[in-house]
Structure 1
């Protein structure tokens, strides 16, 4: 089961990374286009360098760049969640628990937090589905690109479903590893 969860989580993380790279390139192109267009529309450039101004005015920002960033960042977060969950990479504050609890106690506490995170992911996934259904029903679109808003919800919903599946697998994997560790320590004995 670990191999399947690991492969799925890695695939999603790679997709999330590719999406972030796309967003970085798109944002750089859009900012450059906006900057060149602004320079081409400056009165000094228009009056003194008309040929260059005309060339620079051909550049423009990518239409709907902020809409793409908004949708894609949400999707990227959901794509990274399974890898983070499987590797217990979420932020934790264990200032007191490391000193107060034994290794088994900390492991059990980590398992409780994993279960709670899966429950939270189920609720988020459910609400993404409800939001997607509402956006489909009302036909809401983005302002500049006029894309249906439910597309973003659908992409995040699918990624969240995978995050729930990997989260459940992660809980089972860590539960079994905890049980295997206890079983092997009982066999070794003093």
Structure 2
């Protein structure tokens, strides 16, 4: 189970990176278009709407891989001096709490998506259905739930890192 969750999280992060690259290129084109209005060019219509949605989606796609890699910020001032058993207990509690938070977040994204879809809410300039952004973010949130569940199971000793996974590079949670 852990292997496919790790691979899925890594693939989601790569898709998030592609989303950011696309947003960057679109922003450059929009800014260049604004600068060259005198030559018949112009900004990309709805560029800020696309950036708004795209950044949110990219963040949801990045966070699962960040967690599995141990990339979240930590305060090590006291933590490193605690006994190993207490550090492990803290990791387990934190991972279980984060899993609970992600489950609630995913549930509320689902509710929000259904509401936006029901009321046919659209963006101002592009008239793009708002629920599309929620749906794309929801995909990352579901992957996040799987990642947090997997990490919690690993910390509880109920699962293991994938074969060949460089645990030393994963960092501590």
Gaps in structure 2 of 5+ consecutive residues: 161-173
- Aligned residues between the structures: 160
The offset of 1:108, in angstroms, is: 2.0
Residues 1:98 and 2:95 are matched in the alignment: no
What RMSD, in angstroms, separates the aligned Cα atoms of the two structures?
Answer: 1.7
Residues 2 and 159 in structure 2, CA contact (< 8 A), matched pair in contact too = no
For normalisation by structure 1, the TM-score amounts to 0.79
Structure 2 residue aligned with 1:35: 35
Runs of 4+ in 1 over 6 A off after TM superposition: none
Residues 8 and 166 in structure 1, CA contact (< 8 A), matched pair in contact too = no
Residues 128 and 157 in structure 1, CA contact (< 8 A), matched pair in contact too = yes
Report the 3-state secondary structure (helix = DSSP H, G, I; strand = E; otherwise coil) of the residue aligned with 1:95.
helix
Residues 68 and 151 in structure 2, CA contact (< 8 A), matched pair in contact too = yes
Deviations 1:24-46 (A, max 9, x none): 11111111101111xx2xxxxxx
Gaps in structure 1 of 5+ consecutive residues: 41-55, 180-190
For normalisation by structure 2, the TM-score amounts to 0.87
Greater C-alpha radius of gyration: 1
Structure 1 residue aligned with 2:24: 24
Q: Would you tell me which structure has more helix in proportion to its own residues?
A: 1
Structure 2 residue aligned with 1:184: none
